[in-house]
Chain A
Amino acid sequence: MSGFFKLLARNRLALGGLIVMVAVVLLSLLTPLLPLANPDVIDTANRFKLPLEGTALLGTDHLGRDLLSRLLWGTRLSLAVGFVAAAVAATLGATIGIVAGFYGGKTDNIIMRGVDMLMAFPYILLALAIVAALGPGLMNALIAVSAVNIPFFARNIRGVTVGIAHKEFVDAARLSGMGDLRIIATEVLPNVIPVIVIAISTTVGWMILETAGLSFLGLGSQPPQADLGSMLGEARSALITNPNTSIIPGAMILIIVMAINLLGDGVRDALDPRLKSGALSRPMPATRVDRKAPIPTASDDALLALRDLHTQFHVKGRVYKAVGGVDLSVRPGECLGIIGESGSGKSVTALSVMGLVASPPGVITGGAVYYQGQDLVGAPYETLRRLRGDSVAYIFQDPQATLHPLYTIGDQLIEAVRVHHPKGKAEARAHAIDLLKSVRIPNAEDRINSYPHELSGGMRQRVGIAMALANDPEVIIADEPTTALDVTVQAQILSLLDDLRRERGLAIIFITHDFGVVAQLCDRVAVMYAGRIVEEGPTEAILNTAAHPYTARLMACVPELGGGRRRLAAIPGLPPGVDQLGIGCAFADRCDKVQPACRAADIPLAPLRPGQKVRCIHPEPARPEAVA
């Protein structure tokens, strides 16, 4: 709770709104105690006095009543009615929404049909009909405004409740012996309340406007009692001759509603967990680059070479060193595997190549990526864009999420071609069909008109591959392309990728967490841990004689079919967080060979055997049969 207020206070606009609101609420609470003129005393001799003219501070209205006094009493009334209407609508709406969302099925169906009916009215028609039936009056306006807003709350809260009611922790609560009412009270409600508070805070202003509106129309508060809306309504006839009588209550409504809206936005930002982590910012077209250290030079003739690459995430004053100095290179026709567990930085490394790390919060803070000798990290956006998909193409993990859901796969393929190579539509389409055939999609001529949701996961990933191949790139970066797929489909996709790279002489950087996949597909492999490469070398050498203790022990953890029932080797502990890396070996805390020297200084990635490099001062000994 204190965290909530801290977050709210940090938002300067919301704080301003809060201050204004506190002032207005205090003022209206104190109104009866203030030495004000009676707001309803008519004094036609002193009508339409301007502010400061005569005794009334803000002047008088068309009946000579004191405007300041009427303004404060009116504010008091408007606020009270707005808050009560919001509370009533929220309570009833949320109850309906929770019941419908939690029970689902027929209950939900019938309630929501009713809500839909109410929402089929433009809201004011319903309010007008209610006022017409009950007669004009502030209480009736309040009832009308609450009633009209119930469906909005109900629908909003229902949506959230449905999401929560299907969460596994609700199932778990059931299995813990809890009944429906207890689950609603202790599992669902605490998770729905922030949404209710957000909904209230963003609609209170609206409710005040609506009640003011009904009063403005003469359907709300009745004379002599006045709220802000009816003050405006009464002043309207003298708008041209005496605008100040209109401007004063109008400006008051504007100030109140604006303060409430600012405060409401602040409350929303402070309560919404996605906004809290600063996540709801859009990634820029290319990752931000902020290199302080000198830029390393291209050293060899590799097609694509990463030199001392550093990529970090800056989130709320914390620095996550996702990639902490990675050197890698790939030659034409070579398949390089990058293997690591989640959080090891393997995907961020891959995305950094073409500046695709989401930014904010990602920043490339050092190093270089050389493609045919040209540094991509410092390159202007247009250069990067021209190379993306044309020379260096990506295949991503989840084919369901990575294809645009609203365009046919044909359109997406054609776009991939035409953005780099101006071709006629028909020619591009023929090319797209060829691409689909090359990834062995049956009936390519028909399938080209399919939308992604009409294809199975395996077929979608074939489309993803076809898209990567569209412009005959030199390098393909595949980021866990088979992780989301079933094993039988994975086998098909891997064998397709292997055929394609041999046919086309592609260089592939293949990111995975699966040693079996690396063994079958890659020529060389780099093992990543806590943002750095701990070992690199020919696949066979690494798999047979892993030199880094992490590699060796990780491989021992992987169960393999044919091993029978057994106890698995495990690595105790957890990988370190990349926001709190110490000096020296990141694996030291989990390593059983750790020596004081491991934690004393940075350990370089040093050559050990021909082609094999390791970041360890006590590497595993080579097995005798492997040396021979």
Chain B
Amino acid sequence: MAGYIIKRLLSAIPVLLGISIIVFVIMAMIPGDPATAILGSYATPENVEKLNRDLGLDQPMIQRYFIWLGNMLHGDFGRSFSLNRAVLDEVLERFNATLVLAGTAFVICSLLGVAAGVISAARQFGLADKLITFVVLLGISIPSFFLGMMMILIFAVDLRWFPVSGMWPIYGDRDFTALIRHLTLPAIALAVVAAGVIARLSRSAMLEVLRQDFIRTARAKGVHERSVIWRHALRAAMVTIIPVLGIQAGFVLSGAVYIEIVFQWPGVGRMLVDAILTRDILLVQGGVVIVAACYVMFNIVVDVAQSLLDPRIKT
């Protein structure tokens, strides 16, 4: 097992390098003089000169990449000109808030999605199945930002159950209950789409598995139907569901950008959008690389979970 984890970690290195290359290449597509483009509205002559020096922008592409990569490996992602702050510090602080939001949403959508999918498959064509299918269809068709806005209107403005926006109260204690109150609406809004996708895939994975011969074997042994569904079938279906969960984690992280905007959540997504609109390219670059790297690490966790589940994967 330890060997497999080490192997997976090592295999992440080329992926991380690939990510840095892709980001570098995309950023190199920016037309015109790089320093001026990167600095955008902050392009004072001093800044341009400083950036040219820092990034070696007078050098050829390949060398610029390695200078940039070397700086990143030393924890230097450059400075944000719009915030006048080290990119790494800003991203890490913002990413924290995103993790709280996206993590909660991910847990919600995984549990709800898988459970709904299993029930839907076990009761195929029944009332529960039809109901779940309809809710799921609604969930995957509604834009998460629109859902978030509607939830604000109903639950925050009309019913006043939850605060309208933000992560913490402006006045009062920053304690756990305050966080939960602020987190509920955005986390649910964020979870809905992914839960829908997970439920659909879980349903079809379960239907696929329930037709397999080993399910008939379990029934021929006299295993209780509950155990056939939740033990035999679900375990086998998880082999297809877990990679989907990994992909959906990326979608939750992506959806967080919209939800952070709608709910004024101080996360990394909102930071990125602001950075793009102010053309704070270094902040975009650093934010993208750091978040993508975290996502790669998360996918390693998914792979390890998969190998624990499926003995056929060589460890």
Chains A and B directly touch (beta carbon < 8 Å)? yes
Interface residues of A (CB under 8 A from B): 113-114, 116-126, 128-134, 136, 205, 209, 212-213, 216-219, 229, 232, 236, 239-240, 243, 246-247, 250, 253-254, 257-258, 261-262, 279-283, 285, 354, 356, 358, 381, 385-390, 393-394, 396, 398, 401-407, 415-416, 419-420, 451, 453, 464, 467, 470
A129 to B29, CA, bound (A): 11
Interface residue stretch chosen among B53-61, B62-70, B149-157, B174-182? B149-157
Given contacts A396-B216, A420-B222, contact A280 B276 (CB under 8 A): no
B145-169 to A contact mask, C-beta < 8 Å, 1/0: 1100110110001000000100000
Name 23 A/B residue pairs within 8 A (Cβ), A-sorted: A117-B22, A121-B288, A122-B254, A123-B254, A128-B284, A132-B26, A132-B27, A132-B281, A205-B140, A246-B149, A258-B141, A261-B140, A262-B137, A281-B207, A282-B124, A283-B216, A285-B225, A356-B219, A358-B216, A385-B225, A388-B221, A390-B222, A394-B217
Distance from A34 Cβ to chain B, minimum over Cβ atoms (Å): 25
* Minimal beta-carbon separation of A313 from chain B (angstroms): 15
- Chain B: interface residue count, which band? 35 or more
Contacts of B219 in A (CB 8 A): 285, 356, 388
Chain B 5-45 residues near chain A, CB threshold 8 A: 14-15, 18-19, 22-23, 26-27, 29-30
Known contacts A258-B141, A453-B312; A386/B222 CB under 8 A: yes
- Is B19 within 8 A of A117, CB to CB? yes
The smallest C-beta distance from B135 to any residue of chain A, in angstroms, reads 12
Residues of B within 8 A of A419 (CB): 221-224, 227
Additional A-B contacts beyond A219-B276, A404-B218, A420-B222 (10; CB < 8 A) = A113-B18, A134-B30, A236-B149, A243-B153, A254-B142, A354-B220, A358-B216, A402-B213, A405-B214, A406-B309
| Residue among A218, A283, A415 making CB contact with B210, cutoff 8 Å | A283
| 6 nearest A-B residue pairs (beta carbon) | A124-B254, A250-B146, A117-B18, A282-B210, A388-B222, A258-B141
Pairwise interchain contact A283-B211, C-beta atoms closer than 8 A? yes
Which residue of chain B is the closest to A354 with respect to CB atoms? B220
Q: Are B251 and A123 in contact (CB under 8 A)?
A: yes
Does B103 lie at the interface of the complex (its beta carbon under 8 Å from any beta carbon of A)?
no
Contact status A218-B277, CB under 8 Å? yes
List, in ascending order, chain B residues with CB within 8 A of A282's CB. 121-122, 124, 206-207, 210-211
Interface check B230, CB cutoff 8 A? no
Determine which residue in B22, B141, B207, B250 has the highest number of CB atoms from chain A within 10 A of its CB, and name it: B141
Chain A residues within an 8 Å CB radius of B125: 281
Q: Looking across the interface, which residue of chain B has its beta carbon closest to that of A243?
A: B153
Q: Are A124 and B222 in contact (CB under 8 A)?
A: no
Give A213 to B22 CA distance when docked, in angstroms: 23
> A394 and B220: CB pair below 8 A?
yes
Closest to B14 in A: A113
Contact A216 B145 (CB under 8 A): yes
Chain B residue nearest in CB terms to A125: B288
Q: Which one of A121, A129, A404 contacts B232 once the chains associate, using CB atoms below 8 Å? A: A404
User: Does B272 have its Cβ within 8 Å of any Cβ on chain A?
Assistant: yes
A233 to chain B, nearest CB (A): 8
B311 is an interface residue with CB less than 8 A from chain A: yes
- In the bound complex, how far is the Cα of B217 from the Cα of A393, in angstroms? 10
- A122 contact set on B, CB distance < 8 A: 249-251, 253-254, 291-292, 295
Interface contact B124-A281, CB-CB below 8 Å: yes
Q: A124-B257, A128-B257, A133-B27 are in contact. Are A358 and B211 (CB under 8 A)?
A: yes
